[in-house]
Structure 1
Amino acid sequence: MKKKVLVLTLILVALSLVLVTGELGAQAKKRYYYIGAVNAHPYFLDAWLGINYTKKALNVDITVLGPNDYDTAAEAAAIEQTIPKKPDGIMVPLWDSAPVPAIKKAMAAGIPVVVVYTTVPDNGALGYVGLDNYQAGYDTGMELIKRGGTSGKLGIIMNAGASNTEAKKAGALDALKGTKWELVVQAEDKANTEVAIEAAKSMFNSHPEITGILGLDSSSGTGLGRAIEELGLQKKKMTIIVHDREDVTLDYIDKGIIAATVEAKTAIAPYLAVLMMEDYNKRKKANDVPISVNNWDSGVLSFPQFVYVGSVIIDKSNVKNFLRKAMPKATKP
Structure 2
Amino acid sequence: MKRISFKASVIGAALVATVGVLSAQDKPVIATVVKISGIPWFNRMDVGVKEFAASNPTLVASQSGPATADAAQQLKIIDDLVARKVSALAVVPMDPAVIEGVLKRAMDRGIVVVTHEADNQKNTNANIEAFDNAAYGTALNEKLANCMGKQGKWTSFVGSLGSRTHLQWVDAGAANAKSYPGMTLVDAKNESFDDANKTYEKAKEILRKHPDIRGFQSSAGNDVLGIGRAIEEAGLQGKVCLVGTGLPNPSAKLLDSGAITAIGFWDPKDAGIAMNTVAKMLLEKKALTDGINLGVKGYEKVSVTKGPGTGLLLVGNAMVIADKVTYKNYLF
Same fold, judged at TM 0.5 (above): yes
Counterpart CA distance in 1 for 2:38 and 2:107 is: 27
Read off the aligned partner of 2:145 and give its amino acid letter. Answer: I
Q: Is the contact made by 2:69 and 2:94 (CA closer than 8 Å) also made in structure 1?
A: no
TM-aligned CA distance change 1:86 to 1:255, over 3 Å: same
The match for 1:254 among 253, 256, 259 is 256
Q: What do the CA deviations read for 1:159-179 (whole angstroms, capped 9, x no partner)?
A: 340322211111111222221
Q: Is the contact made by 2:232 and 2:259 (CA closer than 8 Å) also made in structure 1?
A: no
- Per the alignment, residue 6 of structure 1 pairs with none
Q: What do the CA deviations read for 1:57-112 (whole angstroms, capped 9, x no partner)?
A: 23332122331112222222222222243323111112221211111111111111
The match for 2:219 among 216, 219, 222 is 216
The match for 1:58 among 56, 59, 63 is 56
Q: Cα distance, 1:183 vs. partner?
A: 0.8
The match for 2:36 among 31, 35, 38 is 38
Aligned Cα root-mean-square deviation (Å): 2.5
- Per the alignment, residue 311 of structure 1 pairs with 319
Q: What do the CA deviations read for 1:254-283 (whole angstroms, capped 9, x no partner)?
A: 222211101123221222222222222223
- Per the alignment, residue 201 of structure 2 pairs with 198
Q: Cα distance, 1:253 vs. partner?
A: 0.8
**TM-score, normalisation: structure 2:** 0.77
Counterpart CA distance in 2 for 1:259 and 1:153 is: 16
Q: Is the contact made by 1:289 and 1:302 (CA closer than 8 Å) also made in structure 2?
A: no
* Pair 1:67-2:69 in alignment: no
Q: Is the contact made by 2:199 and 2:227 (CA closer than 8 Å) also made in structure 1?
A: yes
Q: Which runs of 4+ in 1 moved over 4 A?
A: none
- Per the alignment, residue 106 of structure 1 pairs with 106
TM-aligned CA distance change 1:133 to 1:46, over 3 Å: farther
Q: Is the contact made by 2:119 and 2:313 (CA closer than 8 Å) also made in structure 1?
A: no
Larger Rg computed on CA atoms: 1
Match runs of 1:1-333 below 5 Å:
29-59=27-57, 60-96=59-95, 97-116=97-116, 118-119=117-118, 121-131=120-130, 132-161=132-161, 162-180=163-181, 181-186=183-188, 187-234=190-237, 237-245=239-247, 247-283=249-285, 304-323=312-331, 327=332
Read off the aligned partner of 1:74 and give its amino acid letter. Answer: Q
The number of residues matched between the two structures is: 283
Q: Is the contact made by 1:148 and 1:212 (CA closer than 8 Å) also made in structure 2?
A: yes
Counterpart CA distance in 1 for 2:140 and 2:159 is: 16
TM-aligned CA distance change 1:158 to 1:124, over 3 Å: closer
Read off the aligned partner of 1:41 and give its amino acid letter. Answer: I
Counterpart CA distance in 2 for 1:188 and 1:124 is: 26
Structure 1 unmatched ranges of 5 or more = 1-25, 291-300, 328-333
Sequence identity (%): 22
Q: Identify which range, 64-73 or 184-193, moves more after superposition.
A: 184-193
Counterpart CA distance in 1 for 2:169 and 2:288 is: 34
TM-aligned CA distance change 1:208 to 1:62, over 3 Å: same
**TM-score, normalisation: structure 1:** 0.76
Counterpart CA distance in 2 for 1:158 and 1:31 is: 32
Q: Is the contact made by 2:49 and 2:63 (CA closer than 8 Å) also made in structure 1?
A: no
Structure 2 unmatched ranges of 5 or more = 1-24, 290-308
Counterpart CA distance in 1 for 2:261 and 2:34 is: 31
